[in-house]
Every structure is written in structure tokens, then in C-alpha cells.
Structure 1
Amino acid sequence: MKKFNFIIGLSLLGIILTVTLILQQSDPAKVNTEPIPKWNIPFKSFVAGTGIVKPSTRNISIGTPVSGVVEEVYVKAGDTIKKGDPLFKIDDRKLRNQLPYLKAKVEEARSAMIKYKNIYEIDKKLYKESAGGAISKKSFEISRDNYVHSKAVLKTAIAKMESLKKDIERYTIHSPIDGIVLQCNVTPGSFLEASALTSHFLVIGSNKLNLRVNVDEYNAWRIQPGAKAVAFVRGHPEMKVPLKFLRIEPYIVPKKVMTGLPTERSDVRVLQVIYMFDKPSFPLYVGEMMDVFIDADQSKRVGQR
């Protein structure tokens, strides 16, 4: 009897524990929810689109006109540069070793030119002032020709030296524009080919950035040239940038850049509108996606559809 009661009690205990566990698991889980971002859109009527941050000029791939080993790199990704700033330097010791020799040749030619000039000046004076033929015409012409030839030799020596200096300058690669270094794929000691197709640097034009906005073709007719617009950093409606209209590319193209939303269609065609803006106080990066709202107030349109 006692054994039977023990089994009954143990069974009841198991049932109670099972029911308790089921009730605990069925309690709604607490989820930390954040408020949905709310944009402060300054337009009564607008068209929404997705913008991609682009440089105000096309990316410039910086290569090298000469092949060789990189000796020094003067910049890194993110550096602001001015036109003419050095980017990197190819080892130029082979050319620099020739420079002292050419300088010596210039000095030698200059000394010879000075020597022949003095002889010519003396002979010239003697030839003009001497009535008794202290110097013959032939001797005078020889000294004159030697002086002319020495000047040509000096000029040639200087030209060779300056040509070598120009060649040495080509081994230091400079920025062709004011801009920002986007990428730096070269390090000291690496070998670069002059004909290489891969880029070593990517440079953008200025602190001005462009925004390429994709507008669904169904809303394309609502976009008018000069329309105002504002862009927001995705997920941060407090971070907005006023945009300045640049141009409309009058050609509907397939949408290539996807936002990643589950409801997004891949067969959409879009009108691309280009806006420009100054760099804001918060960081924005080339390639970043932004939420864009374009003023589509129909009262401002001259001819409505």
C-alpha cells in the first residue's frame, strides 16, 4: 500500500513539474523594440528614392609611367591631397648615379666655352684694330668657329642634364587633382609595371560629393529639373543632408543597386537623378546608400499630366 501511494505521489509530482515547464515556455518573450525612425521631410508631396554616394569626379586610377620597385609611399587611404602632391616614388638610383657625370660634362663644356670665348674676343679685337695683319682672317675665323662650337657643346651638355632631371622627376608620381585617396594598394618594395591595368590609387575630386538617386520609372514623370531634395543616412533620420540639383540623366535603365529589403523587386527600371552636396559634419563614404526624398509638388509644374 505504501509502495502504491509512493508511485501515485511521484506521478503527481511529475505531472505538476511538466505543467509548470509548459506554462513557463508559453509565456510571451519580452522583446526590446525600438521606435520606427521618423523622417522630417520638408515637402508636402515627394518622391522617395535610394541614393548612392559618388565622387564629384570619376575615380582616377593612378599608375606609373615607368616600371620599377617602389621606394617610398607618401600617402595613405583617407588622406586629403592637393594637385601636385607626391603619392609614391619608384627607385631612381640608376638615373641619379648618372647625374654627377653629366654635371661634370656641363662644367667641362662651360670651361671650354669660356676659354674659346676669350680667344675669340682677343682675335676679334686684333683683327679689327690691326692694319698690319697681326692676325690673319683665317685664324680669326677659326677662333670664331671654335667659340660657336663650344657654345653648342655646352648647350647640348646642359640639355642632356636637364633631360635626365626630367626623367628622374617621372619616377615620383604626383596627384593630378585636388582630392582624397580612397585606396592605397602599393607598399615600399613592391614592383610596379608601367603597363599594369590594376589601379594603385583611387582619387576623388574634391570635398564635393554627388548622390546618384534611383527613382522608379512609375514615378519618373513626377520629377522635374531643379527639384529640391533631401537625403538621410539610413536608419538615422536626424542625420540629413540638403541636396543641390545637378542633372537628370534622361534614360531609363535597369536597377543595378539593390537595397536588400525583402519586398524589393529585381525587375525594376529607374530614372537616375544626380544631386550634389557639401560634406556634412558627420562622415559619409563613397558607395554609401542614403534615403532620398525629392520635392514633387505639382503646383510648381508648368504643365501637369
Structure 2
Amino acid sequence: MNGRETSPLFDIQDLSVGYGNGIYIFRGLTVQVPLGKKVAVVGRSGVGKSTFLHLLGLISEEVVKSGLITYRCPRTGEAVEYTRLADRSAKDRLRLRDFGFVFQTACLFPHLTCRENIALPLVLQGYSKQQWWRKAEKLLTMVEAIDGELIALADRLGPFSGGQRQRIAVLRAIIHDPLVVFADEPLSNLDPRSTEAVLAILRNWHDGHLHDQTIDIPRTLLIATHDLQEAWDFCDTFVVFNCVGRLLQNRVVSKSELEAAGGITAITQWMASSD
């Protein structure tokens, strides 16, 4: 195993984050997020799950009072300290190149077709229409076995069902083959079939099956969810916040460790704790 694989993907050191009015979301948060895992971020409402993802994904509007976040790019091995990304354009370039996002609400553009919504990251990266159309078509073809329904909808403006909208949003998040996908409550209000389709697409992306020029670089998924059973069935690593924002064991915990400690019961007990 080389040094790149053993280094953490994100290294968070003594991070304190607030709203600017004296109220803190995190105080002294220190944790390392491993590379190449499917990471569940769980905890009660209001403990900072979304803020945690938004900080790592460079889309947070909360005020970082102190501490460091370092991202080690799996492609180059370069360590990027977020506090040194002084200008917005540097953050934008990193976010657009390496990250993909799925939110609770699909956030589709109503004036764009299904295909155009999916291709948006490629358009922002400067791909020509011929290039992004071809890549979107290839991705839709590759996921046809998972969800052939979207191919028939590719050039429609809508309307789309809630499940269709979320699947389009997931494809938009992965079309540029990001190294990290942040998914913030992506399964909320989905029926079982749509939930299965969304998770299947994310799993296939994570395993490197949706890009034919795949290079041997591990992909990492961070998914915040309130559904502990889905998280348990899908993820291999857990970030568990208790009700005052402290982490279980002060670190990322593997599923195997949690199994030995009682599984979902252990997670639930820590989420309710104020220690």
C-alpha cells in the first residue's frame, strides 16, 4: 500500500465553526476521513451533519473560527489546506474538478432537459456541446441496466417525478468522475424503488464502473442520512455525532468495530448521548 492510500483524504484539526453570533456548531473538532470508503455521517437533527459535508465540500457559509482542514488529492497526492485557498476561484476550481454533490432537493434547472441538467458540470468545465452530449449519452447508457427509464426522458424538460429528479441529480454529481461525492440526505422522501436506484448508481460510481477510462484511484462517498438502516446496509465507515456534536470514539469508526459494539444499537445510544 503506497503513501497516498494510507494518508487521510481529509484531515480536520481542532476545527471550531460558528454562525457569527457566538453560537458554535463545532468546537475543537479533530477527525481524519479515510480515502476510498463509503462514509455514513449520522446524528440527530441540528448536530452539524450538513455543515460537516459543506465544510469539506467547500460550499459552507458558516464562519470557521479556528482550526485546519486539509484535503489530500488522490489524483496528485497534493495536500491542499483550505485556509490557504484565499480566492474564490481557487475553491471553485477544486470543487468543480474533484467534488460532486447530491442534496435532499434535486435542484434541477427547469429550463434544461434531463440530459442538460446531468451534463452541467461538464459545461462549467468548458466541454463543447458535442463532448458533453456524448459523455451524457454514454453515462445514461451505462446506467440503463440500473434505471433505463432516464434514457427515454433524456431530452425532456419534465415534468419529472421526485424519484426521477433525484436520479438525475445523482448522475449530475458523478458525470465528471469526481473523486469525492457528498450526498446530503439524498434518500429523503423517496419510494423504495427510487432509493434502490439512487444507491445502485452511487455504488457503481464508487466502485469505478461508470467511467470507461477509470484510473486506479479510490473514490470516496460521504452520505449524511437519518436512515440508520440504509446507512448500515450501504456504508462501511461511520461518522457518528452525539446530541452535542461530539464524535463517537473521537474518530471515524468502521462498521466491523460497530458490529462488535452492538451495531445500530450502539450508534443510536451515542446519538442520544450528551457526554
- TM-score band, normalised by the shorter chain? under 0.3
User: TM-score scaled by structure 1?
Assistant: 0.20
Q: Which has the higher strand share?
A: 1
- Structure with the higher fraction of residues in helix conformation: 2
TM-score (norm 2): 0.21
- Rg larger in structure: 1
